[in-house]
Amino acid sequence: MSRWTEKFSYWTGTQIAPDLHAFLLGRDDLMEKRTPHTVLATLDKGTWVAKSFPWTSVGVCWGQKPVQELVLVGHEGHIAAGPVGNLASEDAIDIEPEDGKVGHLRCARSIGGRVYIGGMDRQMYRRIPGGWEPLDEGMPGADEDVVGFEAIDGFSEKEIYAVGHEGEMWEFNGKKWRQISSPTNLILLGVHCAPDGFVYVSGQAGLVLKGRHDEWEIVDQTATREDIWDIAWFKGTLYLATRGVLYHHRDNTTEPVDFGDTDIPFTFYKFIVSADQLITVGSKDVMRFDGATWSRID
């Protein structure tokens, strides 16, 4: 029996420890009414604990710098952070200042142990003692075009990639940003800095990019033309998440994942990836893969 999915839908999540995860969910009836809210549900060795917030979240991350803490990020700049099970609200990030950049926050990621946040109008922030530091100097805001970041990831704090609208890709070297020449103008939705030394990017209409720094190529795959919302590398295989099908890409071939004898999932959206496990988070399915066997979390 499902723990959450009869009345709730999963959005995303993060790993805190091998047997401790945090997930973000929304109540289906409240989402239908467009009522701002978030349910933060932690799963600790099979035990669920939940807490609600009156604003809508875009990400949750486990940070280790400047302190170990769970960080919850709202799309309108709301922040809650602290030890697992004892998060406290903080001053919100001003996403509509009188002067400067405006727009909703869209993504969050822990890179090198520190939490980074990106959003519309090319906003970028990183976690520092006492709050957040704007990190978007050198990236101009929009004039009339819609610009902004949908995903960020990095090999370290000295090599970070941000991707988003109009096919934009930017690289941060720890001191400043520079825009990368992109081979597409489609919206880029996911980015993953993989252990094989390449950056993989996913986007609209089945787009997959592979590269690093200034050298990029479009990965030839014809298995799907659906939007690929997230992308992850796990144990030598690239995984692609559309809303309804999970694919893997290896040996220049893209195919739907075979879930074996487990209860087959039909919803996907985001990945949680570590050295030992890959977790897929879909609205009504959360699955774990250890490299050999799939099992259902919810």
pLDDT, tens only, 217-257: 999 999 999 999 999 999 999 999 999 999 999 999 999 99
CA 11 to chain centre: 10
For 16-55, what is each residue's pLDDT tens digit? 999 999 999 999 999 999 999 999 999 999 999 999 999 9
Sole residue written with tokens 């499902």: 2
Q: In this structure, how many other beta carbons lie within 10 angstroms of the beta carbon of residue 289?
A: 21
User: Helix, strand or coil for residue 30?
Assistant: helix
Answer whether the bond into residue 183 is a cis peptide, omega within 30°.
Answer: no
* pLDDT over 80 (residue 206): yes
Q: Give the integer Cα–Cα distance in Å for 207 and 228.
A: 7
* pLDDT over 70 (residue 107): yes
pLDDT band at 97 (very low <50, low <70, confident <90, very high): confident
111, 84 Cβ separation under 8 angstroms: no
Percent of the chain with pLDDT over 90: 90
Query: How much is the pLDDT for 145?
Result: 78
* pLDDT over 70 (residue 2): no
pLDDT band at 184 (very low <50, low <70, confident <90, very high): very high
Query: How much is the pLDDT for 1?
Result: 43
Q: Which CATH class is domain 57-296?
A: mainly beta
Residue 285 in tokens: 């399915």
For 256-266, what is each residue's pLDDT tens digit? 999 998 899 99
139 vs 144 pLDDT, higher one: 139
* pLDDT over 90 (residue 98): no
Query: How much is the pLDDT for 165?
Result: 96
pLDDT band at 96 (very low <50, low <70, confident <90, very high): confident
Looking at 41-45, 101-105, 252-256, 271-275, which range is the least confident one?
Answer: 101-105
Listed in sequence order, the residues at least 6 apart from 52 whose beta carbon sits closer than 8 Å to its beta carbon are 37, 38, 39, 40
The model's pTM = 0.96
Which of 115, 114, 118 shows the shortest CA–CA distance to 105?
118
Residue 96 in tokens: 């509509």
Listed in sequence order, the residues at least 6 apart from 101 whose beta carbon sits closer than 8 Å to its beta carbon are 121, 122, 123, 136, 141
Query: How much is the pLDDT for 266?
Result: 97
Query: How much is the pLDDT for 166?
Result: 95
CA distances from 136 to 35, 129, 147, 152, 265 (A): 31, 18, 13, 13, 39
Query: How much is the pLDDT for 144?
Result: 67
